[in-house]
Amino acid sequence: MPRQRGEAAPEPSVPRPPLFRSPVSRPRALARVLAPARSRVPRAWRLFPTPTGTPFTFGYAALLAVVSTTADHAPPSLVHALQQGSSTDVAHLVRHPVLVLLASALWIAGGVASMYAAGFVLVLTALERRAGGLRTAGVFLLGHVVATLATEVPVGLSVLTGHLPGSSLHRLDYGISFGVAASVGALAGLLGPWLRWPVLIGFAAVLTGDLIAFTDPLTDWGHLLSLAIGVSTWPLVRGRRRSGTGGTGGPGGGGGRGAARRGRRAGASGTSCGSPGTGGVARWFLP
């Protein structure tokens, strides 16, 4: 029958969506729901150094492994002579300060199987992922150098005043423990408050126990001093995170739509709440 003027045309039939989703769409929806949760789970491989993610820690750890492995297979007399030559005692510091300060940081007391080696890898990896390679190297070197000088200079003065024998000028002193202790103190400043103080108090308690045991008081004082040096570097290691947050508006300020896009990308990849490259671990350990 012909349609009359003014009569509404019948609407074309549109297929209605099914009341229930197909079985194929359910796994996809479930994956979208679980994706943010998976991004917050820390990946175990980020606890260890990598050539691209933590180049300073990776290169330094490789060098320490080569030196320790070589020392394990070399004659003991040769190893002792090398350690004695790289010792940061007063006699060597007076003659070759820069050389022995660098050479003494190539040895690990107890070898690669010691707790210092494990602490070096875990602590410096975590610190470099948050603060960057340059800051991590600076913290380690600062703790190593300052604590060494602070413990050896009093020995030299005591020998000059007659309070210690001349043999104290040749005290065997080497290792990475001062740098590791400073790195622990610096890393604590980047942890969340619920983890920062237990780490500091627990580590300081261990060092204090060693000092009370009076096995090697000079070195034990150096460890506590190194921890305090690491704590004093909190403004330095936190500077990268502050510069990464940006302000509002202006070039490099991080405001506007560019910042919003970066925030969405960071939230999707699980790298928010920390410095670039912290990944899911940052959600657990950063404030």
Joined tokens for residue 54: 């933590």
Joined tokens for residue 206: 């261990």
DSSP letters for 213-236: HTSSHHHHHHHHHHHHHHHHTHHH
What's residue 284's pLDDT?
A: 40
Q: Measured in Å, how far apart are the chain's first and last C-alpha atoms?
A: 75
* Per-residue tens of pLDDT for the chain, all 287 residues: 444 444 555 555 556 655 555 555 555 655 565 555 454 445 777 889 999 999 999 999 999 999 999 999 999 999 999 999 999 999 999 999 999 999 999 999 888 888 889 999 999 999 999 999 999 999 999 999 999 999 999 999 999 999 999 999 999 999 999 999 999 999 999 999 899 999 999 999 999 999 999 899 999 999 999 999 999 999 999 986 665 544 333 333 344 444 444 444 444 443 333 343 434 444 444 33
What's residue 260's pLDDT?
A: 40
What's residue 32's pLDDT?
A: 62
Locate tokens 């780490």: which residue?
199
Q: What distance in Å separates the CA atoms of residue 178 and residue 228, rounded to the nearest whole number?
A: 11
> Do 240 and 158 contact (CB within 8 A), yes or no?
no
3-state secondary structure of 165: coil
Joined tokens for residue 92: 């060597």
Q: What distance in Å separates the CA atoms of residue 126 and residue 50, rounded to the nearest whole number?
A: 12
Q: CA dist 74 to 68, 87, 102, 116, Å? A: 10, 18, 21, 21
What pTM value is reported for the model? 0.72
Q: Is 111 exposed, middle or buried (0-12, 13-18, 19+ CB in 10 A)?
A: middle
Backbone angles phi, psi at 177, to 5 degrees: -65, -35
Q: Is 79 exposed, middle or buried (0-12, 13-18, 19+ CB in 10 A)?
A: middle
> Do 30 and 21 contact (CB within 8 A), yes or no?
no
Q: What distance in Å separates the CA atoms of residue 87 and residue 105, rounded to the nearest whole number?
A: 10
Helix (H) or strand (E) holding 212: helix 193-213
Q: What distance in Å separates the CA atoms of residue 204 and residue 223, rounded to the nearest whole number?
A: 9
3-state secondary structure of 132: coil
